[in-house]
Amino acid sequence: ITWPHFFALAALTLLLCGCSRNAMLAAAEKGDTKKVKRLLAKDPALADVCETFAQGRSALTLATVNGHAEVVAALLEAGARTNYSHLMELAARHGHIPVMEMLLKKGFSVHGDQFYSPLLSAAGGQPASVEFLLAHGADINEQNNQRNGGCAALHYAALYGNPTMVTTLLAHGAN
């Protein structure tokens, strides 16, 4: 095999190996459930594919951020890693109630951890998310860790200049 042929073969191999990964990421981002399921049927490992050139987002994260509950469900059923404590936070921040409902059914928590809080993220301007989280047991006065300022949802609503959210949170007992 000559060098030009070797390089052409190597380029073709890279192109073919990356096609399924790119197709999965694109399908997850667009919410193409049929395509996601078809790709997963061919290669279940694609449930954990990550986009290395755009902040390392996974197919699961892309589907969550874009509000595609059916795709999120398909990826989780196919075995996508669920050690992403921020999925509920991302869904809440973007106001994706169907995704939040599905994540809750799959065992995800409405409570924050030391880094991510669904309620604090939603307090920036997603009243439906706030109502959903509170209805499912989120702590109205939950704070992020002290290193990040020790703020609660009421603080974030005020910081974002959202008087409607402030009123909503106060009505639920925020202090």
Q: Per-residue pLDDT tens for 22-50? A: 889 899 999 999 999 999 999 998 888 77
Distance CA 172, CA 142 (A): 13
Q: Which residue has the higher pLDDT, 114 or 126?
A: 126
Confidence of residue 13 (pLDDT cuts 50, 70, 90): very low
Distance CA 71, CA 77 (A): 10
Distance CA 33, CA 172 (A): 37
Q: Which residue has the higher pLDDT, 54 or 127?
A: 127
Average pLDDT over residues 143-160: 80
pTM: 0.82
